[in-house]
A = this chain, B = another copy of it.
Amino acid sequence: MGPLETGIMQPQAYGDEHLSLDFEQRVVLLDNRRLTLTRKEYDLLSLLVQYAGQIVPRDALLMQVWGYSPEIRTRTLDVHVRRLRKKLGAYADQYIETIFGIGYRFQPFHAPRYFQQALERPALAISA
């Protein structure tokens, strides 16, 4: 069942001043250079970007990317976030915010830090 059948139409790309993602080709460009991400790294970034501006809870990330249910204890998410940030270089902390005790949030490059959300997809349930 494809996007047409589901009625859910997702943008097939994301782009801001420094970063772009092509969700079809799984290609990520940072300042026009291609970022080589592993599968999980890409899946994680991609998910965060698709919820840009919104907090995505750890549990949701672990469920969507790893298929883990909430009771599983693992640090692999943290490690993946770290590696992602490393690859995002100088912009890392600007792009990927830690929401202590809850999860992470991807912010588009020039996003005003406060007062923001529109055009977004419905939240992935913010536990807490």
Contact = CB atoms under 8 A, between A and B. Distances in A.
Interface of A: 22, 24-26, 29, 32-34, 38-39, 43, 54-55, 100-102, 113-115, 117, 123, 126, 128
Given A38-B100, A100-B38, A29 B126 contact: no
A102 B25 contact: no
State the main secondary structure of chain A at its contact with B.
Answer: loop
Given A33-B114, A114-B32, A114-B33, A54 B25 contact: yes
Each complex incorporates copies of this chain amounting to 2
A22 B128 CA distance: 13
A29 B101 contact: no
Nearest to A20: B115
A126 B34 CA distance: 19
A101 B123 CA distance: 29
A114 B29 contact: yes
**Which 8 pairs between the two chains have the least Cβ-Cβ distance?**
A34-B114, A39-B101, A24-B123, A26-B126, A33-B114, A34-B113, A29-B114, A25-B55
